[in-house]
């Protein structure tokens, strides 16, 4: 099973946005356990990047923490990183990754799970602060997922969270709607 047409479309759309002058754009693509464990996955991703004339640094694959315990997945991640593709751990804090694994696997971004953001002013506050500090110390970008209120945005800004994702800015939208949303968000803040 080759990489899906959807992933090809995502990379092609990213290339289109770059051609339209969005030089800072980066597209995140969810990758399943089965895809990442396939030995041909890195080569298929390379072919898509070449077909679409898109540099790997414009693409970020999102994986779950559980993949960090699998040797096949780690091999694929290392091959993908050589292409310049960024790697993010999605829903961080809800899986089974070991902190020692994080220092051996080249991760670029930690995406804090929404469950920690929902009740951020309870004991989750300490967890969110710790994840942000740890990620920064590991030179990882931090994304807070599931942000819905201005209060959450302001709190995360105080903690130097790099990026914010959630309904506060927008529900999930089609690629064709992103240019309009991007303009609105840029007027409000640096967070996307």
Domain-wise residue ranges, the chain: 1-93, 108-192
pLDDT tens sequence across 106-134: 899 999 999 999 988 788 889 999 999 99
The residue length of the chain stands at: 192
pLDDT tens sequence across 150-190: 999 999 999 999 999 999 988 888 888 888 877 776 665 55
Burial class (CB in 10 A: 0-12, 13-18, 19+), 126: exposed
Instruction: Answer yes or no: CATH 3.20.20.450 is held by domain 1-93.
Output: yes
Q: What's this model's pTM, rounded to 2 decimal places?
A: 0.86
Can you tell me whether residue 70 is helix, strand or coil? Answer: coil
């Amino acid at each position: 099973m080759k990489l899906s047409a959807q992933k090809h479309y995502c990379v092609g759309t990213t290339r289109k946005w770059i051609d339209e002058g969005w030089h800072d754009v980066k597209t995140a693509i969810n990758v399943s356990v089965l895809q990442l464990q396939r030995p041909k996955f890195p080569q298929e991703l390379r072919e898509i990047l070449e077909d679409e004339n898109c540099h790997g640094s414009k693409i970020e694959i999102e994986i779950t923490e559980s993949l960090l315990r699998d040797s096949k997945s780690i091999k694929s991640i290392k091959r993908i990183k050589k292409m310049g593709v960024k790697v993010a751990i999605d829903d961080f804090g809800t899986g089974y990754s070991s902190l020692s694994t994080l220092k051996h696997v080249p991760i670029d971004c930690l995406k804090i799970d929404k469950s920690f953001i929902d009740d951020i002013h309870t004991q989750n506050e300490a967890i969110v602060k710790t994840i942000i500090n740890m990620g920064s110390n590991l030179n990882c970008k931090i994304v807070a997922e599931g942000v819905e209120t201005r209060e959450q945005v302001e709190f995360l800004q105080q903690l130097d969270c790099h990026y914010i994702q959630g309904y506060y800015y927008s529900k999930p939208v089609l690629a064709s709607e992103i240019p309009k949303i991007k303009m609105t968000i840029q007027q409000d803040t640096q967070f996307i």
